[in-house]
Structure 1
């Protein structure tokens, strides 16, 4: 399938936070030097939605607040976006957010996850941030950022042996040191928002949305009236 490079594709990114209330760290990796999109940058696991993501069963659904907020100003289904975030985490780090269960008919992209004996668990995800890639980039994505606690991983957080090779140097980066890495601008913005809200329990007050659809790079706040 040929992808139109001018099309804005729906995408999902996941921020796994470890030791949130003591010395928080986040799971990051470095994109390869030959990557078309953001080469050599340190990023969170994430990527474009796959058509099969809409078909996967959840062991537990998104919270109602997150589901409602994901529907605002969006044609992509909340289910698909949450599934994409969990799949990208699995593919790029080898980590599983899921509960044990049989899944004999898993579609392509999910068969390794199912073979490990799990069904994805969307209840672990909190919708946190949204951003569209600026104009002029070789790829453009409408990315929804989710946060999940490392305690919700079904896998050993220090074991990356099942990761694919999309991200190198996978590691837990102390939040206080994360800006010392070579980061995309939007990742710096997301980290600042995470630092501001990390001690809060429950969903954020609202969702920052970097639209990047004109020269003003307008920022909206989603979800305030949906709680």
Structure 2
């Protein structure tokens, strides 16, 4: 994760230097564009990545012991489509490593707390509003596909009849956050709440008391944008 952040920071610094030589291309203010049209500085694409503090929420969280968040990372690309000088749409494609730390009463092979790692491919589609020229609020839906599960050091199948429970392969939710720009660089924070249960298909009465849990992740990221 540190290597990703350092790489993005280096790219942002390099791109800023190039822009300075070329007359600050892409650093125009929103007021430099005519109002009421689709021509906007909020158009382009970029890369981003950063830190995850993931956890879980829901009515059955109380049935897991010694739970705490799982610290990891996310990275990906985004495109931004300007609607006018204030609003834009921002779809993203991200790899996000999430999960939680806890003891699971449904896991009969590991009774002490362990890390449940959940790797997702995510597609958020965000409405972006620049309430200041260089500061914006982001909010919108997100769909996630689960690609890998590890319980402790053991990788397991997402769906397998030999287990006492399975994992939901699809998650959906809502993302919201704030972002600030510094030249082509961006820094932001976001919280994403999943609405689908992480676990499904309980095989016993005991396991039915652990399925009402959902993803929650707080993200801090840096990125670099390239204006059209």
- Normalising by structure 2, report the TM-score: 0.26
* More strand per residue: 2
More helix by share: 1
Larger RCO: Structure 1 or Structure 2 (Cα < 8 Å, ≥ 6 residues apart)?
A: 1
Larger Rg: 2
